[in-house]
Amino acid sequence: MLGKTENLKKARIIFLILMIITAITIFIFSSQDGEKSTATSDGFIKKIVTIIKGENIEEEELQKITDQISFYVRKMAHFTIYTIFGITTYGFINTYKIKLNKKILISLLIGIIYASSDEFHQLFSNGRSASIKDVGIDTLGVIVGILLMHAIYKIIQKVKNKDKNMDKKI
């Protein structure tokens, strides 16, 4: 059976790998030029709308729906990928023995710095621009990811403590 230290090291490595994979995914999406980025989003939307509305949807209606929701889907994509980044970052930082408020602050700062650098990176992709609004959306995603992971850790701790108390009674 693995000791607590070995489990912590394994968790640290796993979360670091997941954090890096998420950061690379964000970087790849940000490297797309404006035309490819829009085509990727619109292609995703059209597939979903076609699944919901059926294969018989007319192209004009499909395009109209795509145009109406594209902005929101793109912003939700920002929020979602950064929620994942917040989860993996907090998971990684949580493997260190530091105070809870510092874990949260460090995770949040990493998320904000990466979101800001991501927007800066987009300045170098044709047809893309940097947006403070997107940094805000990304940061909200990171916060939600951190809160989700923190809640999961709290639930796990309660279950473990409950199991320990049950063992003592037996």
Q: What is the mean pLDDT of each run of 10 residues along the chain (170 residues)?
A: 79 97 96 89 91 88 92 94 98 96 98 96 89 96 98 91 68
| pLDDT, position 167 | 61
Helix axes 59-93, 4-31, angle to 10 degrees: 150
The tally of domains found in the chain comes to: 1
* Domain that residue 86 falls in: 4-169
| pLDDT, position 1 | 46
Token pair, residue 44, equals 């995703």
User: What SS3 state is found at 27?
Assistant: helix
| pLDDT, position 166 | 67
Distance CA 66, CA 62 (A): 6
| pLDDT, position 11 | 95
| pLDDT, position 106 | 98
Amino acid code (one letter) for 75 = K
| pLDDT, position 168 | 65
Distance CA 72, CA 42 (A): 11
In angstroms, what CA-CA distances link 87 with 70, 96, 108?
Answer: 26, 15, 11
Distance CA 48, CA 116 (A): 30
| pLDDT, position 169 | 63
Distance CA 36, CA 90 (A): 31
Q: Which of 36, 52, 50, 44 is nearest to 80 (CA)?
A: 44
Q: What is the pTM of this model?
A: 0.87
Q: Which of 10, 114, 62, 119 is nearest to 2 (CA)?
A: 10
Please, where are the H alpha helices in 32-131? 34-53, 59-93, 100-122
Rg (CA), the chain: 20
